[in-house]
Structure 1
Amino acid sequence: MKKIIRVWDLPIRVFHWLLVLCIIGSIISVNLGGNAIEWHAYFGYSILTLLAFRIIWGFIGSKHARFASFLPNKKAILDYLQGSAPRVLGHNPVGALSVFALLFALIVQVTTGLFVDDEIAFQGPLAKYVSSSLASFLSEIHEGNQVVIYTLITIHIAAIWYYNKFKGENLIKPMISGDKEIDPSEEANYSPADLGQASKDGVLQRGFALLLLSVIAVVVGYFITK
């Protein structure tokens, strides 16, 4: 019988799929242009809210959601690339690099988006507080950073396909159910400490996460409409 371990708590799973939907909506709306740019802004504010939640949850969330549990270092990365590192329930060292890179790129995108001013159809809520030259500079970063985000997303999708195709590991299923199924024959490939640390995912934790997300949404809404 396979051992079932809760890896991703509900708040992380909801964050992940809402982020996916918001990014898709953001890409579609910005390419439609015209009046759709307003929806692009709404998706951007939503992504900002989700990122703020993820950063906080990365310090106070469940075991595998915490940044400390998958913070990569040189030795861990080299061991993993050489195939000498134990398997992990959460993000492996290379996957962790991808996660941090994508989070950083998205933070840059939403932050610069607050200062965008195309002088035609849209002005970010913070553009009025900076000079036109600085707003123009940040707008250029916002536009150029799209390439970085598209590249990281492509790598992320390719990695999911690779692990499913060549390593027989479905990375999407645990992000839906929250659980990872470990075959008894594979337990030796994992660190005993890792197998013994399932993520907490109770009602109180979920309720607190919802409260936290709501507070962040209110704060973001206040500042963008002020």
Structure 2
Amino acid sequence: MAERGGPETAPAAYVVRDRVPLAASRGGAALRTLRRRDGVRVLEETDGWSRVAWNEVEGWLPSDALSNVWIRISKTDRTAYVYQGGHLWRELPIDVSNTPDGDKTRRAGRLEKEEHRIPEGTFFVTRRNEDSNYYLAFVLSYPTPVHALRGLEDGLISQAQYESIVSAHREFREPPQNTRLGGLIEIHGSGSGRRRAWTRGCVALRNVHMDALWEIVEVGTPVVIEP
């Protein structure tokens, strides 16, 4: 049994299922019902259960309902850094677009540079696609409210579209993919592993690396994309 840690040492995690009971004891009565992506602090782990703190309420959750995996992508390094809590688990080479510099702002024509930009910011995985044209894919939550606000101010989207995007993020749903801001930004397979530039705004990994990520990345996994 793990010893209870203080708030400065206990690892952060998040819920990866919908409507998970936070129980008073292992398998006991529910104190609260947690949603996918609700953040918790793990205090203790034993026999497939985790004692956690959520908004000052302590209780028990099944350990397999939690994850602490997150991904940091550096377009400059052309590397995906995969973390488990504060521990760096893997560094994976990525292929990027042929216009990797700058944040994505809008949908564009196939031959325009803007169409190939990789968005920057903090996202989460909205969908796992086993039928991708590029082996396997994780669809990301682009456009974010930050992109939506900029698009609204630039006249690219309507107030209703802006509110729809913000609402989707608040509820941890996939935002609209068919606005003038673009969409279907993915981390997908069939990458070269040689840090090449060829995608249309996505990040590509070798298929063997996608296999490894497929085992640990859930809907809701945070992804940070940096310049």
Q: TM-score, normalised by structure 2?
A: 0.28
Larger helix proportion of the pair:
1
Q: Which has the higher contact order (CA 8 A, sep 6+)?
A: 1
Query: What TM-score, normalized by structure 1, do the two folds share?
Result: 0.28
